[in-house]
Structure formats: structure tokens, C-alpha cells
Amino acid sequence: MSDVGLFHLLQLQRKQKNMCNLTLCVLLFLTCSCLSLASCPAQCWCEATVVKCVNQNLRSIPQPLPENITELNVSGNDIWNLDNESFPRPLEHLTHLYASGSQVEQLDSMVFKNLPSLRLLDLSNNRISQFSVEAFPEDNKIDILNLSKSLYNHSYIGVFADLFKHSLTKVSHLDLSNNDLVLLPEGIFTSLSDLTVLDLRNNSLVTIRNDTFWNLALQMLDLRDNALKVLHNVTLEKLSSIPDLQVSLAGNPWRCDCNIEDMLIWLERHQVVVDRLNLTCAGPAELKNVPLLHLEQSQLSCWSNAGDALNRALEPSYVFLGMVLALIGVIFLLVLYLNRKGIKRWMYNIRDACRDHMEGYHYRYEISTDPRLANLSLNSDV
């Protein structure tokens, strides 16, 4: 065979091989696509390893989920309870779970036991009242936890406190904003040694305990839009002792009196507060909206006037009086309720007595207006 013929033969074989490879690739692609579509739950949208089931009025986690899933979004549904049936089989590759605004109220024990690689959990905008401390496996990898506006009410913060102490020790980003928190439980963040970002915006925190922010790894602390009036020396020293920490404090009702003097000195000496230029006084009235860093020591008085001092002294008395009156009212209503049958009988007796009395008056009136009855009455008296 000539060299030219051999060359053409080799080219033909190469083309056939390329065609076979192309056909095989197409078949593999179609097979994978079919498998992917087949494993995509109803009412969900799947792309590669991402499954989105947003705003579908789901009452439970859709099944079955693809084995290679890495991200699941079930936000905007009505999944009030996450239990063992939510993730019945291991999903080794699932790292991101979004369940925001899904009316979640309860998370049972070991609900996430089949999600060993889960790193981001978004439970914001829910109404959580029960969260088992055993919801996560001991070796969980939760790194980012969003619990913004997720509490049923602020009194349930203890549910999260137990969770942080026993189950979520590796969290580095924690969002607890918009939960109407008034006080943080003692040592709530003690076990979070890797915590670097803490968001406590838009709560109602009135004070910060001395041991709240002991974590030396903390880098960003957001305390904007709370109810803080002053930060005391112990808290200030703790904040300034954490290296590279950035704190946001704007939007709090700072009370610019003699109690805030140490805080003003601290603000001038340290650069910890990133929005310190935006801190303004909420009271007294003559200093309202004045920037804290523009205040002079002569402006800081404990009482603006005698009337203000008197009002402050009387405020607890008014509160106590209101509580006493409310208690008396409750007792009175309770007594009425317990004696409702006797009161009802007493009312009936009064009604019958009034009726008899009125009938007597009516009888006398008829006698006095009718002469015949009057004569009859006189004769009967005789």
C-alpha cells in the first residue's frame, strides 16, 4: 500500500474515533441530565448541585434530594417543624442551607445529623421557640449562622444560649439582629472561641454584662440601634483589650450626663468605635442630637434641674403604684369570678324584691284612682 493510501486510512480511523468519543460524551451528558432531572424534587428548580424551592407553600423539606447537592434553599415556605424526616439520608456535600421566612418554630434532636458538611445555616425571619441542643452532630462544621429575627420573642434567647454552649462552638459569623433582645444571658458567647463577627443590631439591649464579649477573636461587633444609654468602665476596658476589634454603636439613646464622662474619654483615646462621629445625645433635652465628641465636661451634669431629679425619683413609685393597682384589679376580678353563682343569685333576689315592691305600689295606685276599689278597701278594713 502506498504512503498516500496509508495516510488516508489513518485519517479515516482518527475521524471514526473522534466521532465515537463525541457520541459517548453526548450520551454521558444526556444521561447525567436525565438523572439530575429525575432526582430534582417537585416544585423545585435544580441547576448543577443547587436546589431552590422558594415560596412554594411547602410544609416539609422536599424529597428526594440529589445526593450531590451542595446548596438547598427552602425559604418562604411553611415548614414549621424540622425533624429527623427532613433529611432522612446522608447528604455529604450539602454545605449551604437557607430556610429564611419559612415559619420554623421547632428543630428536633439530630435534625442535621445527616448533613456533616453543613457550614452555612440561615434560619432568619422565623418564630423559633424550641431548638434542641442535640440538633447538630458533635463534629458539626457550622461556621455561619443567621438567626436574625428568628426568635418567637426575646424571652427565648435562652434556647440559643444553650445551643451556643453545647453544640455550635465553631461558629465564626453570628447574626442575632432584630430579635428584640433586652438582656443577653450571662456567658452566652463563652464557648464561641472562633467567633469573629457578631451582629446585634436593632434589638433593645439596655446594658452589656461584663463577661459578654470576652472573646479575643472577635473582629466586628455591631450594636447599632439598641437601647444603650452608657457603657461602663469594665465593658470599655474589655472592648479595648480585644485586638483589631471594630465596634458600631450609632443609633443608641445615649444619656449625656455625668455618668457618660468616662465613655467620652474612652472614645477620644481609642479608635475601636468605627462610627463614633455619628454618636449623638438623646437626652437631656438641651443636649439632644449633640455629637458625643463635641461635648464638654461642663455640660455634663447629673441632673438638669430639680424638677428632673424629682421626676426621676418618682418614676419607680409610679411604676410600683401601677403594679399594685393592676394586682388589686386582678384579685377583684378573680373574686367576682369565683363567686359568680352567689352574685347571680343575689342579683335575682334583688330583682324579685324590686318587682314585689313595684307591684305593691302599682296596687295602691289602682286603688287610689278607682273609687269602687277604694270603697271596697275601706269596707274590708272595717
* CATH number 3.40.1010.10 is the correct assignment for the domain at 37-319: no
- Is the backbone peptide bond immediately before 41 cis, with ω within 30 degrees of 0? no
Cα angle value 163/104/85 (rounded, 5°) = 85
**Which of 102, 151, 147, 111 is CA-nearest to residue 129?**
151
Tell me what pLDDT residue 277 has.
95
Compute CA distances 267 → 230, 248, 249, whole Å.
Answer: 12, 12, 11
Cell numbers found for residue 75: 425559604
Query: Measuring CA to CA, which residue among 221, 134, 129 is closest to residue 173?
Result: 221
Question: Please, which residues bridge with residue 222 across strands?
Answer: 199, 248
DSSP state letter for 108: -
- 3-state class (DSSP) for residue 15: helix
Structural domain spans, the chain? 37-319, 339-381
pLDDT of residue 144: 98
Q: What is the pLDDT, as a whole number, of residue 214?
A: 76
pLDDT < 70 stretches in the chain: 1-38, 303-317, 363, 366-367, 369-382
The length of the chain is 382
pLDDT for the residue numbered 305: 47
| pLDDT tens digit sequence for 281-328 | 999 999 999 999 999 988 888 754 445 555 555 566 677 788 889 999
pLDDT at 301: 85
> In angstroms, rounded to a whole number, what is the distance separating the alpha carbons of residues 210 and 198?
17
